[in-house]
Amino acid sequence: MTAAQEGKPVSFQQSNLVDRLNSATEYDALSQSAASAAPSRGTVLSGEARTAITSENLDKLISQLNLSTDRLQGAMHRIGFLESQIESMESQLAFMPDFRAKAARCIVLEKENQELKAVIEHRNKQLVKREQLLDERNQQIAILEKIIGAYKKHLNMVEKDLNKLEGSAWMRFCAWFSGSKLPNQK
């Protein structure tokens, strides 16, 4: 008697297991009764019955064999496809060290490029500063040239005044009276 028949609480797994065991014992009992009801081995079948049974069994085997062959062919095609995929992947992997080396070289070149850009930027800033200094110097030179031009004009005016004074009668009198020579006289 089972726990469910006795009125005790049973879990789902236990009841399922019990049901399976009961059905298995019933199946064994049916198979034993069918075996006892089956004709004995000593009974001989007719030739036509044997041929029909053999033909039926062969047809089943052939259909199973055809199905297995179709499955095998499909599997072989998949295997071939996968092998070609593996070969292509292996050939691509053969180039991987070259790609890694090129990638590493690109990284190095990119760093050098960045460094050179920084140097160029620094040099450009220096050039801008020097150009500004040159502009300032050119402005100073222009101012100095104006000043020099103004001094030259002033000097010319002074020389003209001096020439006027040297040519005057009073200057000659002062020079004669003091006994000195005029600057233009030797």
Question: Range of 77's domain?
Answer: 51-94
Asked if 73 and 102 sit in the same domain, the reply is no
Residue among 170, 167, 173 at smallest CA distance from 183: 167
Asked if 64 and 90 sit in the same domain, the reply is yes
Asked if 121 and 89 sit in the same domain, the reply is no
pLDDT at 16: 63
Residue among 97, 130, 169, 7 at smallest CA distance from 177: 169
Asked if 111 and 83 sit in the same domain, the reply is no
Look at residue 114 and tell me if it is in a domain.
yes
Look at residue 33 and tell me if it is in a domain.
no
pLDDT at 4: 47
Q: What are the pLDDT digits (tens) for 80-132?
A: 999 999 999 988 888 888 888 999 999 999 999 999 999 999 999 999 999 99
Asked if 103 and 164 sit in the same domain, the reply is yes
How far is 105 from 99, CA to CA, in rounded Å?
10
Output the DSSP codes for 67-80: HHHHHHHHHHHHHH
Asked if 120 and 165 sit in the same domain, the reply is yes
How far is 119 from 140, CA to CA, in rounded Å?
31
pLDDT at 156: 95
Is the backbone of residue 87 left (phi > 0), alpha (psi -120 to 50) or beta?
alpha
Q: What is the pTM of this model?
A: 0.38
Look at residue 55 and tell me if it is in a domain.
yes
Mean pLDDT value of segment 27-49? 58
Domain count, the chain: 2
